[in-house]
Structure 1
Amino acid sequence: MATLLYIFPHPDDESFGPAPALARQRAQGHDVHVLTLTRGEATQQRHRLGLSKEEMGAVRFGEMQHVAEALDLSSLNVLDLPDGELANLSPLDIEDVVMQHLVRLQPDVVATYAVHGVSGHPDHLVTHAVVKRVVCSAVSTNEVPVRRLAFFTLCENDAPRPDHLQASSDEAIDCVVPVDEEAFSTAQAALQCYETYAPVIEEHRPLETVRNGVCFECFREAPTPRLTDLTAHLPAQLPLGSS
């Protein structure tokens, strides 16, 4: 069995797409951990609900506890970095907290957003850059034996998606995790925990975009054929060569 760590900037990032993969991995017996960098307090949904940023952050934190139960996560850690402002922080500060979790969990696989962030949100882009930098550093110094760095993305041939969401080219996809009915049902249960986002979920139906599989790019890997399991054929160490 393997240990996987998913790192995202906001509550719901793990459920607006990747959740069926997490559910499948837990059903297979893997340890699946989620690290969320902010409480998502800056969301525009707070205006609809009449909540302050502090109140919204507390509500979303509570929703994530229910998500952890629905997905049967091995652990969930929600940090309190400022939502929507990660680009204004020193990347060193973000790297420090990410490294602490890597050292503690010693994951075999780390996953985060692809370079385009799927939605293009600045926090998504910062998270990609920070996680990539920290993982490569941790492996190069032998602090954490990460064996695969995966980037969640959408496939070009996925179901229709909102115009603002970006996909990776077919050639860039290295792993497509199948979505069976059990995993999809579990992911739906997790998504429904975000009651504050009910109108958004109803309008965009985010899990429909991954109904044919959850797609990942794998850093410096080009498996043939594509993987169907992020824990399959793990290299001895994350490839860090310059080529």
Structure 2
Amino acid sequence: MATLLYIFPHPDDESFGPAPAIARQRREGHAVHLLTLTRGEATRQRHHHGYSKPEMGRVRFEEMQCVAEVLGLSSLEVLDFPDGELAELDPRVLEDVVARAIERHRPDVVVTYPVHGISGHPDHLVTHAVVKRVGCALRERLGVPRRLAFFTLPEGLEKKPAHLHTSPRERIDACVSFTVEDLERAEAALACYRTYRRVIEKHRPLESVTGGVCFELFQETFDPPLDDLTDRLPVVENPAHNASIT
């Protein structure tokens, strides 16, 4: 069995697309950990509910506990960096927490957003850059992660909100299929976000992954795409397994 670590900036990022793949991975016995960098308190949805930013952050944290239970996550860590302001932080602070999570879990696969961030949100772009830099450095030093995967949407989708970015088909290196039961579990996880019910009903995010949950794989190419993120993992040459992060 493999270990996967998903790293996203906001609550719901794991459920607006990747959740069916996560449900499959847990069903198959893989360890799946989730690190979320903010509590998503700055979302405009708070105005519909009359919440202040601190109140919204608390509610979204509670919603994530529901998601962790529904998906059966191996662990969930939700940090409280300022939502919408990751670009204003010293990137070394973010790099440190990401590095420590990777050192702690020693994942075979780390998953985050692609370079375009799908929605283009600045927090998504910062997270991509931080995770990719730290992942490359630690693979060289510690031998993990063996794979960097970027959750994305393939071009040509019929059911996709117009504002979202996609990746060319030739950049898709893995497209994870899932069962009806996996999809039902993903839908239940998405339903945990009661504060986002209007957004979910409007955009129906899981309809964008009906053909599989797709990923770009950093510095790997597979044609046809892999069906499993843990399949054909690259061998890391002479990793310093006993090294520590300084």
TM-score, L = length of structure 1: 0.96
Range with bigger deviation, 176-185 or 164-173: 176-185
Say whether residues 1:132 and 2:132 are aligned partners: yes
What's the counterpart of residue 60 of structure 2? 60
What's the counterpart of residue 191 of structure 1? 190
Runs of 4+ in 1 over 2 A off after TM superposition: none
Question: Are the counterparts in 1 of residues 109 and 145 from structure 2 also a CA contact under 8 Å?
Answer: yes
What's the counterpart of residue 35 of structure 1? 35
- Determine the C-alpha separation between the residues in 2 that align with 1:27 and 1:163: 33
What's the counterpart of residue 214 of structure 1? 213
Question: Are the counterparts in 2 of residues 110 and 146 from structure 1 also a CA contact under 8 Å?
Answer: yes
Which consecutive unaligned segments of at least 5 residues does structure 2 have? 238-246
1:146-225 alignment, distance < 5 Å: 146-225=145-224
1:160 Cα offset (Å): 1.8
Q: Is the alpha carbon distance of 1:31 and 1:215 closer, same or farther for their aligned partners in structure 2, counting shifts above 3 Å?
A: same
Between the two proteins, what is the percent identity of the paired residues? 64
1:179 Cα offset (Å): 2.7
Once the two structures are superposed, what CA deviation does each residue of 1:63-89 show, in whole Å capped at 9, x if it has no partner? Answer: 000000010000000000000000000
- Determine the C-alpha separation between the residues in 2 that align with 1:202 and 1:164: 16
- Determine the C-alpha separation between the residues in 1 that align with 2:125 and 2:44: 19
Tell me the amino acid that sits aligned with residue 168 of structure 1.
Answer: S
1:146 Cα offset (Å): 1.2
Question: Are the counterparts in 1 of residues 135 and 144 from structure 2 also a CA contact under 8 Å?
Answer: no
Say whether residues 1:25 and 2:31 are aligned partners: no
Question: Are the counterparts in 1 of residues 154 and 172 from structure 2 also a CA contact under 8 Å?
Answer: yes
Question: Are the counterparts in 2 of residues 159 and 210 from structure 1 also a CA contact under 8 Å?
Answer: no
1:224 Cα offset (Å): 3.2
Any idea what SS the aligned residue of 1:141 has? Answer: helix
Tell me the amino acid that sits aligned with residue 49 of structure 1.
Answer: H
1:206 Cα offset (Å): 0.4
Which consecutive unaligned segments of at least 5 residues does structure 1 have? 239-243
Any idea what SS the aligned residue of 1:14 has? Answer: coil
TM-score, L = length of structure 2: 0.95
1:210 Cα offset (Å): 0.3
1:139 Cα offset (Å): 1.3
Say whether residues 1:93 and 2:93 are aligned partners: yes
Once the two structures are superposed, what CA deviation does each residue of 1:136-160 show, in whole Å capped at 9, x if it has no partner? Answer: 1111222x52111000000113332
Any idea what SS the aligned residue of 2:26 has? Answer: helix
- Determine the C-alpha separation between the residues in 2 that align with 1:179 and 1:158: 18
1:31 Cα offset (Å): 0.2
Question: Are the counterparts in 1 of residues 109 and 149 from structure 2 also a CA contact under 8 Å?
Answer: yes
- Determine the C-alpha separation between the residues in 2 that align with 1:42 and 1:221: 36
Question: Are the counterparts in 2 of residues 118 and 167 from structure 1 also a CA contact under 8 Å?
Answer: yes
Range with bigger deviation, 187-196 or 160-169: 160-169
What's the counterpart of residue 83 of structure 2? 83
What's the counterpart of residue 230 of structure 1? 229
Say whether residues 1:119 and 2:119 are aligned partners: yes
Tell me the amino acid that sits aligned with residue 46 of structure 1.
Answer: R
- Determine the C-alpha separation between the residues in 1 that align with 2:158 and 2:181: 20
**What value does the CA root-mean-square deviation take over the aligned residues?**
1.0
1:22 Cα offset (Å): 0.3
Once the two structures are superposed, what CA deviation does each residue of 1:33-67 show, in whole Å capped at 9, x if it has no partner? Answer: 10000000000011111111000000000000000
- Determine the C-alpha separation between the residues in 1 that align with 2:157 and 2:100: 35
Any idea what SS the aligned residue of 1:76 has? Answer: strand
Any idea what SS the aligned residue of 2:77 has? Answer: strand
- Determine the C-alpha separation between the residues in 2 that align with 1:237 and 1:230: 16
Say whether residues 1:10 and 2:13 are aligned partners: no
Any idea what SS the aligned residue of 2:83 has? Answer: coil
